[in-house]
Amino acid sequence: MKASIMPSISIIVPVYNAEKYLEACLESLENQTLSDIEIICIDDGSTDESFEILKRHAQKDTRLRLYAQENAGVSAARNRGLDLVQGRYVMFVDSDDIIAAQACELLMKQAQSHHSEIIVFAGKTFPTTKWKDSCWATRTVHYSASESVFALLNEAGSIPLMCNKLYANALIKRTNARFNTSLKLGEDHAFQMNIFPFAHGISYLNECLYFYRGHDESAVNQANQDWDEQARLHLEIVKYVIASWQKLNIIAKYNEALLRWVSDFFFDAARKCSFNTRQEVGAELKQLLHDTFDSALESTLDDTQWHNLHFIIDTPNVRNPKPLITFIYTRIADEKLSKHVLMSALMQYEQRIEIRIDNGYKTPELAKLVEHDVRATFYDKAQSSQLLDTITSPYVIFAQSNSAYMEGCVNHIFDRLHMIEYKNECAEKGVKPTPLARERYIRGEHFFPADVVVFNDSAKIVRNEDPFFALTPNYQLSYSSEKIYSYEALAPRVYNVVSLSPENKAYHVDFLKKHHEIWNAQQEFSMAYGALNVSACLPYARAILLMDRALLVTHSLTIKRASAASDYGKRITEMLEQTSTRNDVEQSTDTSGFYAALGSYLLALDDSINNYSIYEEIFPFMQACARNIQAHLGSTTWEDKDEIAQWNSLCTFSSQEHFNTKSNLHVNRLTEANTEALDELSAAWGNAARLDSMVHEFYHSISYKTGRVVTYPVRYLYYNIQKLIRR
């Protein structure tokens, strides 16, 4: 087909070793329903058959213009294409992707109907990649020139992708827009940040026109494999964008929006990288922001953006104060501590933590994680009896190898403790609590010193019981609205309420040190001895805080060898025998509640092993323990019918029959929990949609636009005065 002198659309295709997918890509371009296009292919030094494929297509379709260069990277190839385009509009297609046959035709119609200089459209990844599929346009809407930065930072599809946009060539020439060849990642994102602010109208089209191929060789997939490198590359993008906006003389006009972008853009990579790298990039980002923005601008951030930003820039100082909480991972048998479980502690939003890991868990993979996080260390099993003396944090969690904690676990615990202490102080002083004063208070070091903080797990495997399931309030005892109870207030169902599992509790270290002699320091709060130590400590607790929140995800216990499984079963039997013969249990007037809790704990262990070949070795010990506990239970049972069914199955069925029964019941619990979560998510989604509509209406209102225009000179003057003062 013959090329037009000035085609409607120029399509730039950078090509490097794409022989596997190039034919499909070119066919999708050559068969566009809009024929008035040119296809500019830049072969970036391919060493496979890509150039030969391009030559064949160029010979049969004169609209395809072929150029070759030595390998210089995708940004250099795209820049070469921008130097050569002749069309009124420009779009970019990667050599392994496909566009819909009507893509160019629909995009030209959209551009002409609104006289837009950027058109953003929808697409689809294959195979499906969720985060990339969140980067397409989701609705059809138009923004004027004065709304370009708002559209850039708030409308879905604007960033980070390059492939889902059509640009007016006039806009590219007017801004001299080019890709930064020094950026190893995020060159697409940086390009959008520099060109969007100058667009005379931006349209969004909710039409799926682009098909993005995901495969292991792609640049994006390779970059995502190293989060430390990602964080450093994100910092380079931030530096480049800030420098560009300063050079383009638009930073004063859009400084609030730019600071919000920095917080949103940088947070995800900083959260996932190692702590040591976060210290490094956080210090550099903090200095960059200090040199660029007035500190008063932070007041324009919403709460989430403020906390996200300070999560990054406050990292260098996080080791100076003592940690708030210590996670201790103790190895029992031959079970494995997965990277995912350890990462759940390392990636807590509250960074003032420390982590102690049993040397028995040490693998090259975990050793690498610990090497890159100064908060984590391995400890020798022989020194476990002195371990508590080395803890400097006020609280400790005895985590298990199958216990993953929600990223906000530590935040939720201390937010609650801070809130209780703040209310207590307000009551003592006779002042009314206020949100601002509470926020300042929470940032301090004051918190309510509960002896034990108890929380739930998402799948309800730990089995915390509602405190009022079998309790009748007693006027002689105090029942706090903050759900703080003494051991006596919860007796005789205290063990049912808090569970005998060790992993769903944070213990005050001073409380443990005070009663050090009553818990098994040598064997610690391990899975196989958890009930023994929990039951030993709780009678001394004067302040037990119950948090009605799931902060824990319990995974399957990974035991690699059958012999280790047998040893684990023996340890369970030993622990249960020691626990059930403790003096205070034998002397209790109502031991049935304790044995019901012991039965629940046994069921939690029962749920934690999902490999049948391993479970078969442990089952005889589990069933013997269950029958022993059953003899003490009497008429006391549980509130949950599934728990009753699992218990009866454990006591009476064979290993295979029971394994099938407990697996089905576990699926039922997960389904129920997921249904509740989906209902909550659906309600939240509806609220978010309504809020989004209100925000969009506000930012398009005449009063908002007028206010921005009227206040711009004042804001510009204020910013420049502050900049002069800092210099």
Q: With the CA atoms of 106, 110, 115 and 119 taken in that order, what torsion angle do they form, in degrees rounded to the nearest 10?
A: -90
Residue 271 has pLDDT above 50, yes or no: yes
CA atoms of 517 and 630, how far apart (whole Å): 30
- Report the b/e string of 524-552 with b at 16+ CB within 10 A: bbbbbbbbbbbbbbbbebebbbbbeebbb
CA atoms of 20 and 32, how far apart (whole Å): 21
Q: In Å, how far are 37, 187, 553 from 89, measured between CA atoms?
A: 9, 20, 51
Across 44-53, 302-311, 574-583, 615-624, the highest mean pLDDT is recorded for 44-53
CATH topology of domain 322-560: Spore Coat Polysaccharide Biosynthesis Protein SpsA; Chain A (3.90.550)
Alpha helix locations (H) across 293-408?
303-313, 339-346, 364-371
Report which of 221, 512, 298, 240 is spatially closest to residue 387, judged by C-alpha positions. Answer: 512
Residue 247 has pLDDT above 80, yes or no: yes
Percent of the chain with pLDDT over 70: 77
- pLDDT (tens digit, 9 = 90+) per residue, 158-170? 999 999 999 999 9
Look at residue 512 in the predicted model and tell me its pLDDT.
87
Backbone angles phi, psi at 95, to 5 degrees: -70, -10
Residue 584 has pLDDT above 60, yes or no: no
CA atoms of 149 and 317, how far apart (whole Å): 34
Neighbours of 215 (CB within 10 A): 11
CA atoms of 231 and 518, how far apart (whole Å): 46
Report which of 505, 487, 511 is spatially closest to residue 551, judged by C-alpha positions. Answer: 505
Mean pLDDT over the full length of the chain: 83
Report which of 122, 105, 116 is spatially closest to residue 37, judged by C-alpha positions. Answer: 105
Look at residue 290 in the predicted model and tell me its pLDDT.
93
CATH superfamily of 9-222: Spore Coat Polysaccharide Biosynthesis Protein SpsA; Chain A (3.90.550.10)
- pLDDT (tens digit, 9 = 90+) per residue, 676-710? 666 666 776 666 666 666 666 665 666 655 665 56
Residue 514 has pLDDT above 90, yes or no: no
CA atoms of 578 and 173, how far apart (whole Å): 80
- pLDDT (tens digit, 9 = 90+) per residue, 656-671? 999 898 888 878 777 7
DSSP of 378-411, one letter per residue? EE-GGGGGGGGGG--SSEEEEE-TTEEE-TTHHH
**What is the pLDDT averaged over residues 644-653?**
88
Residue 10 has pLDDT above 80, yes or no: yes
Look at residue 667 in the predicted model and tell me its pLDDT.
80
Cis peptide before 492 (omega within 30 of 0): yes
- pLDDT (tens digit, 9 = 90+) per residue, 121-179? 999 999 888 888 999 999 999 999 999 999 999 999 999 999 999 999 999 999 999 99
Q: Which residue has the higher pLDDT, 578 or 467?
A: 467
Residue 585 has pLDDT above 60, yes or no: no
Q: Which residue has the higher pLDDT, 667 or 365?
A: 365
Report which of 334, 370, 284 is spatially closest to residue 558, judged by C-alpha positions. Answer: 334
When pLDDT is cut at 50, 70 and 90, the band that residue 44 belongs to is very high
**What is the pLDDT averaged over residues 483-509?**
85
Alpha-carbon dihedral sign for residues 636, 505, 267, 154: positive
Residue 361 has pLDDT above 70, yes or no: yes
Name every residue whose Cβ is closer than 8 Å to that of residue 367 and which is 6 or more positions away in sequence: 378
Contact 503, 400 (CB under 8 A): yes
| Ramachandran sector of residue 483 (left: φ over 0; alpha: ψ -120 to 50; beta: rest) | left
Secondary structure element (H or E) that encloses residue 355, with its range: strand 353-358
Radius of gyration of the chain (CA): 31
CA atoms of 201 and 214, how far apart (whole Å): 31
Across 88-102, 470-484, 524-538, the highest mean pLDDT is recorded for 88-102
Distance of CA 541 to the CA centre of its chain: 34
Q: First vs last Cα of the chain: how many Å apart?
A: 61
Look at residue 711 in the predicted model and tell me its pLDDT.
63
Look at residue 692 in the predicted model and tell me its pLDDT.
65
Name every residue whose Cβ is closer than 8 Å to that of residue 351 and which is 6 or more positions away in sequence: 275, 278, 311, 314, 315, 318, 375
**What is the pLDDT averaged over residues 482-505?**
83
Residue 332 has pLDDT above 70, yes or no: no
Residue 716 has pLDDT above 50, yes or no: yes
Pairing verdict, β 395-399 and 325-329: parallel
Residue 2 has pLDDT above 90, yes or no: no
Look at residue 528 in the predicted model and tell me its pLDDT.
47
When pLDDT is cut at 50, 70 and 90, the band that residue 108 belongs to is very high
Across 104-108, 329-333, 510-514, the highest mean pLDDT is recorded for 104-108
**What is the pLDDT averaged over residues 300-326?**
83
CA atoms of 558 and 550, how far apart (whole Å): 22
Q: Give 452's strand partners.
A: 507, 544
- pLDDT (tens digit, 9 = 90+) per residue, 390-445? 888 999 998 888 889 999 999 999 988 888 887 777 777 777 766 655 555 555 56
Equal fold, 9-222 vs 322-560: yes
Alpha helix locations (H) across 61-186?
74-84, 103-114, 130-133, 148-154, 169-175
Report which of 358, 402, 363, 403 is spatially closest to residue 384, judged by C-alpha positions. Answer: 358
When pLDDT is cut at 50, 70 and 90, the band that residue 536 belongs to is confident
Q: Which residue ranges make up each domain of the chain?
A: 9-222, 227-317, 322-560
Residue 3 has pLDDT above 60, yes or no: no
- pLDDT (tens digit, 9 = 90+) per residue, 289-309? 999 998 888 888 888 898 899
- Report the b/e string of 486-508 with b at 16+ CB within 10 A: bbebbbbbbbbbbbbbbbbbbbb
Least confident of 182-186, 321-325, 420-424, 503-507: 420-424
DSSP of 568-590, one letter per residue? HHHHHHHHHHHHHT-HHHHT-S-
**What is the pLDDT averaged over residues 89-115?**
96
Percent of the chain with pLDDT over 90: 44
Task: Look up residue 232 and give its amino acid.
Answer: R
Residue 526 has pLDDT above 60, yes or no: no
When pLDDT is cut at 50, 70 and 90, the band that residue 488 belongs to is confident
Residue 594 has pLDDT above 80, yes or no: no
Look at residue 224 in the predicted model and tell me its pLDDT.
44
Residue 522 has pLDDT above 70, yes or no: no
Across 194-198, 251-255, 550-554, 561-565, the highest mean pLDDT is recorded for 194-198
